[in-house]
Amino acid sequence: MRWNIKPEPNTETTLKLADELGIEYTLAKLLVQRGIETFDEAKAFFRPNLNDLHNPYLMKDMDKAVERIEKAIFEGENILIYGDYDVDGTTSVSLLSSYLKTIHPTIATYIPDRYDEGYGVSYQGIDFAEENDFTLIIALDCGIKAIDKVAYAKEKGIDFIICDHHRPGNEIPDAVAVLDPKRADCEYPYKELCGCGVGFKLIQALATNRNQTIDDLVSYLDLVATAIAADIVPITGENRILAYFGLQVINSNPRTGIKAMIHQIKKEELTITDVVFIIAPRINAAGRIKHGNYAVELLTELDFETAVTFAAEIENNNNERKELDKTITNEAIQQIEQNNEQQNFSTVVYSENWHKGVIGIVASRLIETYYKPTIVFTKSGTKLAASARSVKGFDVYEALEQCSEFIEQFGGHKYAAGLTIDEENYINFKNKFEEVVKNTLPEELRTPEITIDAEISLSEITPKFYRILNQLAPFGPQNMRPVFMASGLRDNGYGKKVGADETHLKLNIFEGSNQQTYNAIGFGLGDKYELVQNGNSFKAVFNIDENHWNGFTSLQLLLKDIKEE
């Protein structure tokens, strides 16, 4: 791995902030690195406030969206809430439908089938709306590129409101309102909302018409925090405020469906990381294995016993997803090895038998193995569908744009995208994508990188230091859990390889002449054991965490990598 230490921020600014806040220099440095340079900025960061959320009417078309919804409510129209089948989509649909049902009786939800309809707004969904007399569709987490679909709906007398956060194309759909902070003509101050975040801004705007305050909407923030965590959007600005208070709701008074999931996993307090790795995969599993409707049913269910039943079904889906993920990843690795493609600049694999619901996860697993921009294809009807994932610093969306001659449709972000191609274009696409990656992926991005916030002495790691460090949470993109480096380290001789297959490393580390030892665990670092034997001096990169064992709590180092001095 490449170790990359962040540049030292302005010393004068850092010293001044440390003095004003009464904290250690290293902690002040972490704040300045995150763009927090004054006492007031630090106060806003450490004490998020719901009143600091932006006025939702600053978003382009918000007034039009609210006006159309109010008209539908006044005239008793049927409203269909439409969303994608992933976590962001299903939480968005659950959020908006839950809110609108408190003020309007004829609200229904629609999640497209991953296999029959694919991603985004579908013709089948519009036909369903026509057959069931829906005159307004509100699409969440999708729709920004649905030019033809919105036109098709218009012909049938059905209006569209789009709430999306993906990059628009050159043309905006001709909908009643298109809410997307990434629109070039939208001056909304915060651009990084997830789909559920845009949905929340819509209910915030609707609430102002009913003399409701932000306090009346706090109970919806468990859904918003779940979507923020799952969609890997930056935990900055509004997202930080929404995630901070959403986590409080999750841990104090979550909606019945989330409570049922927490009841199953039996964990007392969830962090944003727990939401990413425990809650989100379970919600996703419904759309991957069966249908996203199951997730919406769980997230909108009011009866706890019923929710527990739904949660148990989704748990089974998640277990099935894990097995499929493991099997397909192994098959993909075999395909790469058999074709001698390990040396390629990209990874592109295909099997018509792979389950469409897990190819995105498989793409991420292959990056863990080969560390290259990766695309995994499977058969979907008469087409090939794929999930693309990227390595840090490389824009896979832009790479796909350069291959557009062989793509039927695609959409997504810098690091994750979905696409559809004709089967006869597979080899041409694969060759073109390899060529694009070869020509545009810089040498330094071909090796995994650890970004280090600061070099510290182990003696700085105290309970107070950790307590303040933890107040930087919730962690996520652009506010990652701080990573530290320390040098001149030795193991006290009791270090050993642990785990059933001895792939992990457990050490008792001390620094220089200071004989105080610090517990350290390095998952997957068992092969580094020889570096720390016989009193060898080494340097390490790590996070700081708490270890709870036998009723005792102590600080420990979560090792990310070790190198010789």
Share of the chain above pLDDT 90, in %: 84
Least confident stretch, 93-97, 157-161, 298-302, 533-537 = 533-537
Confidence at residue 1, expressed as pLDDT on a 0 to 100 scale: 87
pLDDT top residue among 384 and 415: 384
Confidence at residue 411, expressed as pLDDT on a 0 to 100 scale: 82
Confidence at residue 264, expressed as pLDDT on a 0 to 100 scale: 83
Residue 406: which of 419, 417, 418, 395 has the closest Cα? 419
Average pLDDT (220-244) is 95
Write the pLDDT tens digit of every residue in 192-218: 999 999 999 999 999 998 999 999 999
Write the pLDDT tens digit of every residue in 7-59: 999 999 999 999 999 999 999 999 999 999 999 999 999 999 999 999 999 99
Decide: 115 and 356 in contact? Cβ < 8 Å: yes
Tell me the CATH class for 339-446. Answer: alpha beta
Q: What is the pLDDT confidence band of residue 266, given thresholds at 50, 70 and 90?
A: confident
Angstrom distances, CA of residue 12 to CA of 28, 40, 283: 11, 17, 47
Write the pLDDT tens digit of every residue in 116-130: 887 789 999 999 999
Give me the residues paired with residue 511 across strands: 489, 514
Write the pLDDT tens digit of every residue in 413-440: 788 899 999 999 999 999 999 999 999 9
Confidence at residue 61, expressed as pLDDT on a 0 to 100 scale: 98
Residue ranges of the chain that CATH labels 3.10.310.30: 339-446
Residue 221: which of 255, 191, 190 has the closest Cα? 255
Average pLDDT (134-150) is 96
Confidence at residue 101, expressed as pLDDT on a 0 to 100 scale: 96
Residue pointed to by tokens 């919600």: 283
Strand spans (E) along 164-316: 177-179
User: Kind of pairing, strands 449-452 and 2-5?
Assistant: parallel
Burial 255-286 (b: 16+ CB within 10 A, else e): bbbbbbbbeeeeeeebbbebbbebbbbbbbbb
Confidence at residue 31, expressed as pLDDT on a 0 to 100 scale: 96
Confidence at residue 399, expressed as pLDDT on a 0 to 100 scale: 96
Residue 474: asked if its preceding bond is cis (omega within 30°), the reply is: yes
Angle at 229 between CA 236 and CA 333, to 5 degrees: 120
Q: How many helices (H) and strands (E) does the chain have?
A: 20, 19
> Half-sphere exposure of 535 toward its Cβ, with a 13 Å CA cutoff?
2
Angle at 560 between CA 559 and CA 561, to 5 degrees: 100
State how far the Cα of 296 lies from the Cα of 291, in Å rounded to an integer: 10
Residue ranges of the chain that CATH labels 2.40.50.460: 450-564
CATH tag, 56-313:
3.90.1640.30
Confidence at residue 267, expressed as pLDDT on a 0 to 100 scale: 79
Confidence at residue 169, expressed as pLDDT on a 0 to 100 scale: 86
Structure tokens belonging to residue 213? 């305050």
pLDDT top residue among 8 and 289: 8
- From the CB of residue 135, how many other CB atoms can be counted at a distance below 10 Å? 17
| Helix or strand run (H / E) with residue 135 | strand 134-140
SS3 522: strand
Confidence at residue 167, expressed as pLDDT on a 0 to 100 scale: 85
> Mean pLDDT of all residues in the chain?
94
State how far the Cα of 221 lies from the Cα of 57, in Å rounded to an integer: 19
The amino acid present at 234, given as its one-letter code, is P
243 pLDDT above the threshold of 80: yes
Residue 234: asked if its preceding bond is cis (omega within 30°), the reply is: no
SS3 400: helix
Polymer length of the chain? 565
Confidence at residue 547, expressed as pLDDT on a 0 to 100 scale: 85
Residue ranges of the chain that CATH labels 3.90.1640.30: 56-313
Average pLDDT (445-451) is 92
76 pLDDT above the threshold of 80: yes
Confidence at residue 133, expressed as pLDDT on a 0 to 100 scale: 97
> Hey, which CATH number is domain 450-564, 2.40.30.110, 3.30.450.40, 1.20.1260.10, 2.40.50.460?
2.40.50.460
Tell me the torsion sign for CA atoms 345, 351, 352, 355.
negative
State how far the Cα of 61 lies from the Cα of 27, in Å rounded to an integer: 41
